[in-house]
Chains A and B, each alone.
Chain A
């Protein structure tokens, strides 16, 4: 398949290959969408930013404005940041501005976008494997927003042990979530 590497993306798109454009989009669209969602906290805005970013990136590649293949990821990131800045600038002009750097403080969290049935099941199964004290560690770290050292003192564990609890729980979660979503894709 043409255009599955950075060099392939560039040459393929410059030669007008639709497959290369699709491959570029497939590789980077999730990153652009995530970055935009994180900054804007809005799915609609994230979609708009993604669409505008890829429009500009493709135009730039076609015009051979992206010369360095290694710089392609950073170039796409830079375009996405510019699109976000322009979004906030437009909003500022309209009177409901939220500067990009302050967006995380003044808009609702984006994390609800990551909650779905598979995540809930994976978390439940992860929790079931933990001892009560380990469950408490997770709650204090991620819900009460305490620092690792504070949690360690509160549950009478060494900080290294707290980190171990966290990394093991994350590992279990990833494995369970992967199985759940892989099974879903296979259906």
Chain B
């Protein structure tokens, strides 16, 4: 492996973040065993990434992220300069609010109430899991919703947690039974749960072993199994964080 390739392909960073193929990983290991410069870069990258993650977990970067999101982008400043035009549009906005927005907010409020009920049901599920043999308090739980598009659900797994409860809200489908497949950030399948069916609240619930869930972004796929033919029903992004 050549230094130019290592530099151009960001091999050091990808190696540290486990994003190289097995062949490239082994080739790079053979390289840095003979190369002091690259081994020093690997060590520095390990410290740097670990330090950034540590800072983010301690909130040292959170303010910056929030501040950044609060800052108006450059184009917004130009838009502001044309704010006189906004006055003209104000009347239209008021009409839109009365005819469209307020009914939408009412519907959202109904959805929020339904979600609150769902949350109560999930809490009950957590409690029932925690009360079983080998009971564990504060079982982590994450809710996956297909209606939220590409949004990533996040689960924070304390060091002593053994199970992660996954609650999946799905709309109407033709299936009675489902299979859940979980892929690691590397794309490798790590967990499969068979025989899922809707509970009394219409949702699916499964508990996953946290030993297989390292920090990173996982893919969760829900596949309708019965009646056949099987097909993909929905897919979710699940971010695992470990404090």
Please list the residues of chain A having a beta carbon within 8 angstroms of any beta carbon in chain B.
28, 30-31, 34-35, 73-74, 76-77, 101-102, 104-109, 111-112, 114-115, 119-120, 122-124, 127, 130, 132-133, 135-136, 138-139, 141-145, 155-156, 163, 169-170, 173-174, 177
Contact = CB atoms under 8 A, between A and B. Distances in A.
Contacts of A101: 22
Interface of B: 10, 18, 22, 29-30, 32-34, 39, 42-57, 60-62, 64-65, 67-69, 71, 73, 152, 159, 184-186, 188, 190, 211-212, 214-217, 239, 242
A60 to B, nearest CB: 16
Contact of A138 (B50, B52, B217): B52
8 contacts: A31-B39, A34-B43, A101-B22, A109-B242, A123-B54, A123-B60, A124-B60, A133-B71
Nearest to A128: B60
Nearest to A147: B19
* Interface of chain B, main secondary structure: helix
A127 B33 contact: no
Contact of B30 (A73, A115, A132, A177): A73
7 cross-chain pairs, A with B, having the tightest CB-CB distances, nearest first: A123-B51, A135-B64, A143-B56, A73-B34, A111-B50, A73-B33, A114-B50
A30 B57 CA distance: 28
A120 B51 contact: yes
Nearest to B70: A132
B48 A139 contact: no
B64 A119 contact: no
A170 B64 contact: no
A173 B30 contact: no
B239 A144 contact: yes
Contact of A177 (B32, B47, B52, B61): B47
Contacts of A76: 33
A133 B68 contact: yes
A77 B33 contact: yes
